[in-house]
A and B are shown apart, each in its own frame.
Chain A
Amino acid sequence: EPEVTQTPSHQVTQMGQEVILRCVPISNHLYFYWYRQILGQKVEFLVSFYNNEISEKSEIFDDQFSVERPDGSNFTLKIRSTKLEDSAMYFCASIAGRYTGELFFGEGSRLTVL
């Protein structure tokens, strides 16, 4: 069964360092997403990406964040200068078509900022 894969599963970094989280969405999907979940809190939408550009972003997704699809398979989230409050589980998701609603999620990348 096709699945969304994320790497790394866990990353520990120092405050101020740059972090790149990687995702390989399901191959025939067209829309890609990043969500985050701070420990004990709800899953929050960060950004959606379609046709090689950001289609929507939340207020959480400030200038410290960027996304990229550098090739035909990877979808990355970059945090330029990490802060303590960026510590969270980051989930990548993809969807085949608009409004089908069934997002397929990866298992997440846990980011710990010290």
Chain B
Amino acid sequence: AQSVTQLGSHVSVSEGALVLLRCNYSSSVPPYLFWYVQYPNQGLQLLLKYTSAATLVKGINGFEAEFKKSETSFHLTKPSAHMSDAAEYFCAVIPNYGGSQGNLIFGKGTKLSVKP
């Protein structure tokens, strides 16, 4: 079964520092991969998605992620953290492409804290 693993349940960075949130996937076929963000007391919002086009994907709020097949990774980065980036970030995959209706399988999430 396809799954995603997010390393680190909690990441803390200083404002202006690089943000790196790690995600590794397991898949026997090229997956669709996603990053969602959840701000406090809100629903999930799509940050970006990889659907087998460009390997470097740019999303909203200055975030980007790079699909690396050799490493089975899809890490999320942002060059300079802002206080408003504090949220929980979820990596997700669509399993069994070709048989699924599109339901996502989520990682456990990484809570990002940004210190002033």
Residue of B nearest to A47 (CB): B103
A45 touches B43 (CB 8 A): no
Q: Residues of B within 8 Å of A, CB-based: how many?
A: 24
Is the CB of A101 closer than 8 A to any CB of chain B? yes
Query: In the complex, what's the smallest C-beta–C-beta distance from B92 to chain A, in angstroms?
Result: 8
B interface vs A, CB < 8 Å? 32, 34, 36, 41-46, 49, 51, 90, 94, 97, 100-109
29 contacts between A and B (CB under 8 A): A31-B101, A31-B102, A33-B103, A41-B108, A42-B90, A42-B109, A43-B109, A45-B103, A45-B105, A48-B101, A48-B103, A56-B100, A91-B44, A98-B102, A99-B97, A99-B102, A100-B102, A101-B32, A101-B34, A101-B94, A101-B102, A102-B46, A103-B46, A103-B102, A103-B104, A105-B36, A105-B43, A107-B41, A107-B43
